[in-house]
Amino acid sequence: MAGEAICSNESIDDWLLPDKNMRPPDIYVIGFQEIVELNVINMFLTSNEDTVDVFKNLMKRNLSKIGK
């Protein structure tokens, strides 16, 4: 993610199902790294829970739409 901010209501449908005609996969494996800007303050002094929660909620919301 290179520390880039993402909007909590952003649609990531194109990431999860790039071809609308294909059958949804049975399982997704999603991994993130560098979801916060890498600097000394973020690495040692602050909590990144809010940023992590934004990504978790975004994934849950978008994955729940697939296959319905």
pTM, 2 dp: 0.62
Cβ-defined contacts of 53-59 (< 8 Å, 24+):
54/6, 54/8, 55/6, 57/8, 58/6, 58/8, 58/10, 58/12, 59/12, 59/30
Q: pLDDT for 57-67, tens place per residue? A: 888 888 888 76
Q: pLDDT for 4-51, tens place per residue? A: 677 777 778 788 888 888 888 888 888 877 777 777 776 677 666 777
pLDDT given at position 56 = 85
pLDDT given at position 1 = 65
Tokens 């560098």 belong to: 34
User: Burial, 37: exposed, middle or buried (Cβ in 10 Å; 0-12, 13-18, 19+)?
Assistant: middle
